[in-house]
């Protein structure tokens, strides 16, 4: 790369030039040669050019400010990176030199699941399988690099990564923990905290915020009683899957139910039951089942927080059988017989309770109706048997 320069008062200065390199290193040394016309000047002290990137020299505020002032690096609050003032831009907070980095502040750590229990959402919650959502609210959270949530259980530290959403919001997933809870819905209270590199003041947040991490049992989903669940496909019909500890930590947003390649939309979860709405038509068990012409019933699988999976059985969509002609004949005859019996009973009762003259008139009227009904029933029988 050639750069035009000029000599003033015995000092050679070069025109501004942007340097760049593709190597994944913080800085590189480049050789330097100065030409006077076509003749290179001597370089007895082997002077060279050091090309660097501030954000590769250090990735935290405190370490960035500890760099030698010759680099001109500082901490840019807007980009949350180690940069020069020109890279950070005007009217932006840029810490450098004697400035001190301001620590993040954690104000609240909570679970985001629906809570129907004795503990409020201000308590972070999880299960041994991990994967539960935790929300962290505070200030300057983006000053920390690669923050992690940790849980201390029986002297062992388990951790998982967090994702900074903004300077005020951070989301974490609970870690997988080797723990035995026992057959109970009561949680164990354990210590938790955060690794907020390079800030050390976020250990044992249980003590600082006066709220323990609540460790509950993993949810358990039971298999269908007969292995195959019959589903009618009616609009008002839902699939119910039984289990235990289902909503102690996780809610509808954390759970997926798959029927083959289809999805059963989860509508509600209680402690012992999950309810979901299956697809309108029976889905194939695998993507290429339709092409193969297979009649395999689709598997029903429950997935919790992408850390737990339960196969609970198969689903069989059943259609109501069409009514046979014999059933129609039988029902017609049955209705006619019931009507005749009721008519006879009314006639007898009326004859016993009224005068002979009136009784004869009523009797004739009822007899006429019964004769008409008998004719209709006979015609219906003839029609139905002809169609059989």
Question: What pLDDT, in 10s, does the model give residues 165-210?
Answer: 988 999 999 999 999 898 999 999 999 999 998 788 899 999 999 9
Nearest to 230 by CA among 306, 288, 300, 311: 300
Whether residue 114 has pLDDT greater than 80: no
CB 35, CB 54: distance < 8 Å: no
More confident residue, 20 or 270: 270
Query: Under DSSP, is residue 166 helix (H, G, I), strand (E, B) or coil?
Result: coil
Q: Which residues contact 358 (CB under 8 A, 6 or more apart)?
A: none
Q: Express as a percent the part of the chain with pLDDT over 70.
A: 78
Instruction: Identify the weakest region by mean pLDDT among 42-51, 304-313, 339-348.
Output: 339-348
Mean residue pLDDT of the chain comes to 82
Confidence tier at 258 by pLDDT (50, 70, 90): very high
- Tell me the C-alpha to C-alpha distance, in Å, between residue 349 and each of 16, 37, 363: 119, 136, 11
CB 151, CB 127: distance < 8 Å: no
Whether residue 366 has pLDDT greater than 80: no
Q: Which residues contact 38 (CB under 8 A, 6 or more apart)?
A: none
Nearest to 251 by CA among 275, 232, 230: 275
Please state at what angle helix 325-353 crosses helix 356-387, rounded to 10 degrees. 180
- Tell me the C-alpha to C-alpha distance, in Å, between residue 17 and each of 55, 85, 86, 251, 327: 20, 17, 14, 57, 94
Tokens representing residue 181 in the block: 């809870």
Q: What is the pLDDT of residue 371?
A: 58
Question: For the chain, what is the radius of gyration of the CA atoms?
Answer: 40
Query: Under DSSP, is residue 212 helix (H, G, I), strand (E, B) or coil?
Result: coil
140-160: pLDDT as tens digits: 898 888 899 999 999 999 999
pTM of the model: 0.64
More confident residue, 181 or 357: 181
């Amino acid at each position: 790369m050639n750069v035009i320069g000029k000599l003033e008062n015995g000092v050679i200065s070069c025109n501004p030039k942007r340097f760049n390199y593709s190597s994944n290193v913080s800085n590189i040394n480049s050789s330097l040669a100065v030409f006077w016309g076509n003749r290179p000047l001597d370089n007895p002290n082997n002077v060279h050019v050091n090309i660097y990137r501030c954000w590769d020299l250090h990735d935290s505020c405190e370490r960035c400010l500890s760099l030698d002032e010759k680099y001109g690096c500082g901490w840019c609050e807007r980009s949350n990176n180690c940069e020069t003032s020109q890279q950070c831009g005007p009217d932006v907070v840029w810490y450098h030199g004697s400035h001190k980095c301001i620590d993040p502040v954690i104000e609240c750590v909570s679970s985001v699941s629906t809570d129907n229990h004795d503990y409020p959402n201000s308590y972070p919650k999880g299960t041994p399988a991990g994967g539960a959502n935790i929300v962290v609210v505070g200030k300057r959270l983006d000053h920390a690099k690669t923050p992690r949530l940790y849980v201390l259980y029986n002297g062992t530290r388990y951790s998982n990564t967090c994702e900074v959403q903004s300077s005020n919001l951070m989301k974490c997933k609970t870690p997988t923990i080797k723990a035995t809870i026992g057959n109970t819905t009561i949680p164990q209270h354990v210590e938790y905290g955060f690794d907020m590199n390079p800030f050390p003041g976020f250990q044992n947040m249980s003590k600082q915020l006066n709220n323990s991490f609540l460790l509950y049992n993993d949810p358990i989903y039971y298999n269908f009683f007969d292995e195959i669940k019959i589903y009618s496909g009616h609009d008002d019909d839902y699939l119910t899957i039984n289990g235990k500890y289902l909503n102690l930590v996780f809610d509808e947003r954390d759970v997926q139910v798959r029927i083959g390649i289809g999805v059963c939309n989860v509508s509600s979860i209680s402690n012992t039951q999950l309810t979901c709405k299956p697809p309108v038509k029976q889905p194939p068990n695998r993507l290429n089942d339709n092409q193969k012409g297979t009649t395999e019933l689709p598997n029903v699988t429950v997935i919790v927080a992408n850390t737990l999976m339960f196969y609970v059985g198969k689903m069989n969509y059943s259609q109501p059988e069409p009514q046979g002609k014999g059933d129609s004949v039988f029902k017609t005859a049955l209705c006619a017989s019931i009507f005749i019996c009721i008519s006879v009973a009314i006639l007898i009762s009326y004859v016993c309770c009224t005068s002979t003259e009136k009784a004869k008139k009523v009797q004739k009227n009822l007899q006429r109706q019964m004769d008409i009904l008998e004719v209709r029933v006979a015609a219906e029988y003839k029609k139905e048997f002809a169609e059989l």
